[in-house]
Amino acid sequence: MDKYLHCQQLLGKLQQTMQQHQQWDACSPSAQALASIEPFAIDTLSCSQWLQWIFIPKMTLLVSQHLPLPSQFEIAPYVEEAMKNEQGYEAMLAVCHEFDHLLKAK
């Protein structure tokens, strides 16, 4: 399967999984919170907010424009630690492992 198509499918799967487990926000965080320069915006956003408001939109843009996808990439360790006590943790972690595997593949 084409890497871009697979990535697009995983983005939809992640969004759906987050929505199913009430990890999807109706309102965007503030512009200031979204402007964080820390990795994963750890100083201003929760993990689910980072996934929803930064990761998914940026990856969607890369996919839609067929821009280079990141290759030195792992989000599963962050999600594993940051969301270990959250509802739907295992399902979201599984999708993140799929992303890590896809984006490391040659």
* Inside any domain, residue 10: yes
Q: Does the pTM of the predicted model rise above 0.85?
A: yes
CA 82, distance to chain mean position in Å, is 13
* Inside any domain, residue 35: no
The residue range of the domain holding 57 is 3-23+44-104
C-beta of residue 38 within 8 angstroms of C-beta of residue 50: no
Span 36-87, pLDDT tens digits? 999 999 999 999 999 999 999 999 999 999 999 998 889 999 999 999 999 8
**CATH number of the CATH domain containing 17:** 1.20.1440.40
* Inside any domain, residue 64: yes
* Inside any domain, residue 13: yes
DSSP 38: S
Span 6-26, pLDDT tens digits? 999 999 999 999 999 999 999
The DSSP line for 49-82 is HHIIIIIHHHHHHHHHTTPPPPSS---HHHHHHH
